[in-house]
Structure 1
Amino acid sequence: MPVDRRALLALPLLGLAAGLLAAGSGADSSIYYALGTLPVLAVLLVEMVRSLRAGILGLDAIAALAMAAGLALGEPLAANIVGLMYALGQFLEDYAHRRAGAEMTALMARQPRSVMRHEACGLVEIPIESVASGDLLLIPRGAILPVDGTLASDLAVLDTAALTGEPMPVRYRHGETLLSGCGNAGETFDLRATTDARASTYARIMDIVRDAAESRAPMSRLADRWSLVFLVITLVLAGGAWIVTGEARRALAVLVIATPCPLILAVPVALLAGLSRAAKLGLLVKSAAVLESLARIRVLVTDKTGTLTLGSPAISEIAGDAEALRMGASLDQATQHPVARALVAAARERGLVLATPEDVREVPGEGLEGRVGGRQVAVGGARWIAELAGAEPPSLPAHDIPPGSIRCAIALDGKPAATLLLHDPPRSEAREVVDALRRGGVERIVLASGDALEPVEAMARHIGADAAHARQTPASKVVLVESERQNGPVLMLGDGLNDAPALASADVGLAVGTRGAAAAQAADAVLLADNLRPLVAAHRAARHARDIALQSALAGIGLSAIGMLAAAFGYLAPVEGALLQQGIDAAVVLNALRALKD
């Protein structure tokens, strides 16, 4: 059964108060100090046994030794202060975890438990677990969207702040995609579910939150190893002081000032605070280890389309006839890729009647193949189509290609039929974010895209990249990430299925937005907003949290070491040492909580 940290803190505090009152009236105070200490010692011994069964021995052993030695050597006040110090440390750590996890807990508290579904007999309230793709759901004013879906009504006004940080309500039209976790800030509307509750955007975010809250960073594991070294040093120093001087009270003074070690408090508290801060800024980090890695990033490898661009291209030029466009757009109905959506939109704007595609096969990073109306159709990058057809697709008028432009082509029955130029404008914040990352310690920027060389080079010039690699396949992006690791830890930034392997192979893989399920699943962190600016603030928060963790741990260990030496040479009595260490431990935990702020 979990121990109530408040009750554990109250017992030695009451014992101390009763003992001081007794001492002031001339009565024996020892019994009160001892009674306040024994329950804490008992709880600590039980927790030590559990830890030993799990193969863990930490600095709690010093606290137990200090309390037991204080009682045995006639220093019950020192033992009581150690017990109070241990209970206070546990209380502060518990408070820090609850305070640091407040942003994540707020996300989890928003999860709806039930929803109204349209059925033949009318509206029926069902558990959220019963929602299936295709269900028509009623979303009343103020309700949280339980699953992802498309708007079945004419208009919806959503509060997206919990997912994107956008403070103003956002208006959506019929047929647009709505993400779970947003709140209905307008009138009641109908939602056509496209996922069940388990596969929704919000559910994936909750999984990330839970994993992050339970994770431990390499720095925390290193702190554990340092803790064991510190334990050995403490026992040697305490034993040496006793042997050399013959004074057991000196050994006790060394033990009490070494209890507990700031390492086991400061590091996890600071990193968890950093996770919470990043979540508040709009970057959901999957673990404390990822947060620590993010603070050490030196190389950024980034995708282009949908990552540095808006991901909503429109056709600006076409070399080919309407039939080629109709056939290509018909095939592209089978995917939600931004370029495919642009082709479909262009065909419909021209009044072309689209057919149903069959036997569709997607080649990640290249394009689609399939049959439309009995004809073999392929749509993808111009280079890929040229390789498939054995001939170059029709030429576009020669001119400078603006940043963010994409050249794709269509083949019919194995022959090039059309070439299209689509313009996908760069995000307004792209150059600003790259410059800010450079100022934050990122030394090298590399652009990696499956697009042709011209638009990739144009985008590289726009953001000031150090290198640009065009016509990248998913496999070649992985190779690129691995090769760039020689320049330092690598952050991979992407948004699509073709980026997933590279996201998984990088030191930190970061998916932009929540539209790409595969990218979000492979990534170590997810930008909740479809905007790059939170990355800069979260990178700064990660570095801030790591610096504070190191600062708190090293300062706490340094002060403790000075106090231990002073105690070994007889300059600190056991009670004085216990009071000093209590102040040190409280200070490092409170300092670690600074990671919650800029």
Structure 2
Amino acid sequence: MPNRITSVHWLKATVKFLWGKKDVGIALLALICIILYLLLCLGAQQPTEGAERVLWGAMLIGGAPLLIELLIGVVRGQFGSDLLAGMSIATAAALNEPLAGTLVVLMLSGGAALESFAVKKASSALEALAKRMPSVAHRKVDNSLVNIAIDKIAIGDLLVVLPHECCPVDGVVVQGHGSMDEAYLTGEPFQISKSVGSAVLSGALNGNSALTVQAVRLAQDSRYARIMQVMQQSQQQRPQLRRLGDQLGMAYTPLAIAVAAAAWIYSGEALRFLAVLVIATPCPLLIAIPVAIIGSISLSAKRGIIIRDPVVLERIGTCKTMIFDKTGTLTYGKPSLVEQIVAPSLSSNEVLSLVASLEQYSKHPLATAVIQRARANGAVLIGAESVQERPGQGMSGKVGDRLVRVTSTKQLLAQQPDLLPLLPPASTGLECVVVIDHEYAATYRFRDEPREESASFIGHLSPKHGFEKLLLVSGDRHSEVAYLASQVGITQVYAGKSPEEKLQIVREHTAHGGTVYVGDGINAAPAMLAA
């Protein structure tokens, strides 16, 4: 008995799922009815009345919603390659040819089902963004934490952002010290140090330390929510792109109808009209295009590329402008040690070995960059003692018999201003200072380096694919953006741009021709929707 109940529930759930996916349900119905018709006709010289009723049921149940959609499209001036299929179904019903009509229903609904699957496989950008944000926040009340819904946060509330959580609202740090990853929001590739008084953005990913934040905006007014709103507006304002098959169908359909009408008039048999319509129904376009789209999406996904809208696969060949985001797209999205300025009395390998030996006790991204460079150089790391990492003060410890300290230029000069003449000129990028035995030892500079293949990829776009404009747009500092552009071969750059400004840049270029936007990160999402 339980097995029977389980089977019934499974059957009901399956039917509900299939009919919830209209095109899938119609295609399966048509296929099953055609198979049943062929089985009923086995051994019979003529199709039986019962067999034809099966086809009539499939053609009417499956064809009616398809025809209604086509009629609505024709009224709106939106029709293409599927119009011939709709006319074939209607003509088959009028001439009592249910087999021909059901076959066309199968082709039309099957192609639509495959295309729906492709769109589903591409996923929804807005849903993915919404899932990133936490659904609750931790409000600090006296000495305890109370979980509240995001929309219940009031300005002035004290909220605790736990390690590795997304910040729920824009605010200011009032207690604690740590770092946050804002790359998806601002384009800044490095984790940003946060201490008392630091501003934090909703959607930023917290590091390893809990922070107490005072809300300065409501959730719906915060940075992350504004990006979501811009995305929704961009999606609504995005012009409707016609599929390649529809464009071909608009020119091909009138010609096919004219030929079918001529065959009817010449022969005097209405069946000839149906025959020409069925033959002219563009089965390759109805089936092959969705299959090709699914294959392209699957192949792209294996290479880490998510295609939001399958239509771009048909339109990308006509685009002449390509706009690139910086962090994580043309770069690795993580810092690399690119320059070591060492005091004359020391060797770079000796200093690097000492610093890496100390930094192996830290989880800071710059520490990871130093350790990677040291290991690449074959340095031997040894243990450190008395390791201390104070918030905002850097890191210090004893490596062997040497006292090693790694800190910022600002902190060093605040404590040892006499070392200023020994320091190199300040750079606009990210850097740290190394002090060994209380003496200046080195300055390390870091950058988010371009991917190994970025320059060659940029270089082949114009000669091989006809792109006339290549732009780099980023929320990062101008010096960093200009450096990357010079490394990969892009001459036109926009630096320090917010998601709203990126969106405006894309719209300006899209107004003059097809534009491709390549990026990753939430801060690039509105611009990607508009391209």
The answer for the alignment partner of 1:463 in structure 2 is 487
**8 Å contact 1:220–1:268 — kept in the other structure?**
no
Shift of 1:235: 0.8
**8 Å contact 2:156–2:216 — kept in the other structure?**
yes
Q: Does 1:22 align with 2:40?
A: yes
**8 Å contact 1:234–1:258 — kept in the other structure?**
yes
Shift of 1:349: 6.1
**Which of 127, 135, 138 pairs up with 2:160?**
138
Q: Does 1:438 align with 2:478?
A: no
For residues 190 and 444 of structure 1, the distance between their equivalents in structure 2, rounded to whole angstroms, comes to 46
**8 Å contact 1:136–1:191 — kept in the other structure?**
yes
After superposition, the Cα gap between the structure-2 partners of 1:132 and 1:286, relative to the gap in structure 1 and judged at 3 Å, is farther
Give matches, 1:366-377, under 5 Å: none
**8 Å contact 2:177–2:195 — kept in the other structure?**
yes
- TM-score with structure 1 length normalisation? 0.50
The answer for the alignment partner of 1:48 in structure 2 is 70
Give matches, 1:458-537, under 5 Å: 459=483, 463=487, 465=489, 493-496=494-497, 505-507=508-510, 508=515, 523-524=527-528
**SS of residue matched to 1:243:** helix
The answer for the alignment partner of 1:296 in structure 2 is 319
Over the aligned positions, Cα root-mean-square deviation in angstroms equals 6.0
**SS of residue matched to 2:140:** strand
**Which of 449, 463, 466 pairs up with 1:428?**
449
**8 Å contact 2:169–2:222 — kept in the other structure?**
yes
For residues 79 and 202 of structure 2, the distance between their equivalents in structure 1, rounded to whole angstroms, comes to 44
| One-letter code aligned to 2:461 | G
Shift of 1:117: 1.9
Shift of 1:137: 2.0
After superposition, the Cα gap between the structure-2 partners of 1:99 and 1:78, relative to the gap in structure 1 and judged at 3 Å, is same
Q: Does 1:5 align with 2:27?
A: no
For residues 88 and 239 of structure 1, the distance between their equivalents in structure 2, rounded to whole angstroms, comes to 27
Shift of 1:79: 1.2
**SS of residue matched to 2:242:** helix
**8 Å contact 1:67–1:83 — kept in the other structure?**
yes
For residues 108 and 301 of structure 1, the distance between their equivalents in structure 2, rounded to whole angstroms, comes to 24
Shift of 1:100: 1.6
Shift of 1:457: 13
The answer for the alignment partner of 1:87 in structure 2 is 109
For residues 279 and 145 of structure 1, the distance between their equivalents in structure 2, rounded to whole angstroms, comes to 31
**SS of residue matched to 2:134:** coil
For residues 39 and 2 of structure 1, the distance between their equivalents in structure 2, rounded to whole angstroms, comes to 15
Q: Does 1:229 align with 2:251?
A: yes
| One-letter code aligned to 1:296 | C
Deviations 1:276-317 (A, max 9, x none): 96999588989967995698346779999xx999999xxx9x
- TM-score with structure 2 length normalisation? 0.55
For residues 227 and 191 of structure 1, the distance between their equivalents in structure 2, rounded to whole angstroms, comes to 58
After superposition, the Cα gap between the structure-2 partners of 1:134 and 1:504, relative to the gap in structure 1 and judged at 3 Å, is farther
After superposition, the Cα gap between the structure-2 partners of 1:445 and 1:189, relative to the gap in structure 1 and judged at 3 Å, is closer
For residues 495 and 457 of structure 1, the distance between their equivalents in structure 2, rounded to whole angstroms, comes to 9
Unaligned residue ranges in structure 1 (runs of 5+): 317-344, 353-396, 407-422, 468-480, 482-491, 527-541, 543-598
For residues 458 and 92 of structure 1, the distance between their equivalents in structure 2, rounded to whole angstroms, comes to 44
The answer for the alignment partner of 1:564 in structure 2 is none
| One-letter code aligned to 2:449 | S
For residues 86 and 92 of structure 2, the distance between their equivalents in structure 1, rounded to whole angstroms, comes to 10
Q: Does 1:98 align with 2:120?
A: yes
Shift of 1:83: 1.6
| One-letter code aligned to 2:91 | A
Deviations 1:237-279 (A, max 9, x none): 2223333444544432332244466667838994997699699
**8 Å contact 1:155–1:171 — kept in the other structure?**
no
Deviations 1:148-183 (A, max 9, x none): 556666466989999899xxx989654566654566
Count of residues in Structure 1 that have an aligned counterpart in Structure 2: 402
After superposition, the Cα gap between the structure-2 partners of 1:60 and 1:211, relative to the gap in structure 1 and judged at 3 Å, is farther
**SS of residue matched to 1:147:** coil
Identity of aligned residues (%): 25
For residues 10 and 287 of structure 1, the distance between their equivalents in structure 2, rounded to whole angstroms, comes to 24
The answer for the alignment partner of 1:35 in structure 2 is 57
**8 Å contact 1:145–1:180 — kept in the other structure?**
yes
For residues 485 and 144 of structure 2, the distance between their equivalents in structure 1, rounded to whole angstroms, comes to 58
**8 Å contact 1:217–1:288 — kept in the other structure?**
no
**SS of residue matched to 2:159:** strand
| One-letter code aligned to 1:463 | Q
Q: Does 1:253 align with 2:248?
A: no
**SS of residue matched to 1:440:** helix
For residues 472 and 166 of structure 2, the distance between their equivalents in structure 1, rounded to whole angstroms, comes to 38
**SS of residue matched to 2:25:** helix
Shift of 1:82: 1.2
Unaligned residue ranges in structure 2 (runs of 5+): 1-18, 342-407, 416-420, 431-443
| One-letter code aligned to 2:457 | A
Deviations 1:89-118 (A, max 9, x none): 222222221112167644444443332322
After superposition, the Cα gap between the structure-2 partners of 1:33 and 1:443, relative to the gap in structure 1 and judged at 3 Å, is closer
After superposition, the Cα gap between the structure-2 partners of 1:525 and 1:295, relative to the gap in structure 1 and judged at 3 Å, is farther
After superposition, the Cα gap between the structure-2 partners of 1:404 and 1:446, relative to the gap in structure 1 and judged at 3 Å, is farther
Give matches, 1:343-354, under 5 Å: 350-351=413-414
After superposition, the Cα gap between the structure-2 partners of 1:511 and 1:131, relative to the gap in structure 1 and judged at 3 Å, is farther
For residues 214 and 128 of structure 2, the distance between their equivalents in structure 1, rounded to whole angstroms, comes to 26
